[in-house]
Amino acid sequence: MDDFKRKLQNQQVALVSGLLFTCVLLVLSNCYDKKEVLPDFLQGFIAGFQVGIVAALLGFLLFFFFRNLVSLRSPDRLKKLYISETDERKVFIFQKSGSSGMNIITYGLAVGAAVSGNINDTVFFSLLGSCLFVVIVRGTLKIYYKNKF
């Protein structure tokens, strides 16, 4: 259990770093002034996507930060979290659906889409479409393997 506790403490450091990085991104995205070459609808859509991605990232980071914080303070919650994270069925489904690689690809495409929204709208929509395709494939595989096993 001590190894798991150390793992959670290391995650806490990474989560705090991610929270700080997300706050910096939020400030920088509001300070950046893009040329008005796109129609207002597209400009608003891209800005909304960027704010949504940052808000979702911030929400996930805060959720996991507080979940780990509560678990580290309570031995019962720590044990529950350990059992849930080491559940063999969940780990098997996660491995079969290739979720670790798919997570990296999805996050990379989403961040790339958010960044490219400031540069080129064609690249933004291409990366957004690719990201949505990966999310749909990943969701389909998870549902398939959950029903199969």
Q: What span, in angstroms and rounded, lies between the C-alpha atoms of 130 and 137?
A: 11
Q: Side-chain half-sphere of 140: how many Cα atoms within 13 Å?
A: 6
Per-residue pLDDT tens listing for the chain (149 residues): 788 888 888 989 988 998 888 788 777 766 766 666 667 778 788 888 888 888 888 888 899 999 999 988 988 998 888 888 888 877 777 777 677 788 888 888 888 888 888 788 889 899 999 999 999 988 888 888 888 87
Q: What span, in angstroms and rounded, lies between the C-alpha atoms of 3 and 7?
A: 6
Sign of CA dihedral 127, 20, 86, 78: negative
Per domain, the residue ranges of the chain are 1-86, 87-149
Task: Name the pTM for this structure.
Answer: 0.71
Give the CA distances from residue 112 to residues 1, 40, 48, 129, in Å, rounded to whole numbers and listed in that order. 38, 22, 15, 12
What are the pLDDT digits (tens) for 58-101?
Answer: 888 899 999 999 988 988 998 888 888 888 877 777 777 677 78
Q: What span, in angstroms and rounded, lies between the C-alpha atoms of 8 and 5?
A: 5
The alpha carbon of residue 67 and the mean position of all alpha carbons in its chain are separated, in whole angstroms, by 16
Determine how many CB atoms are found less than 10 A away from the CB of residue 45: 17
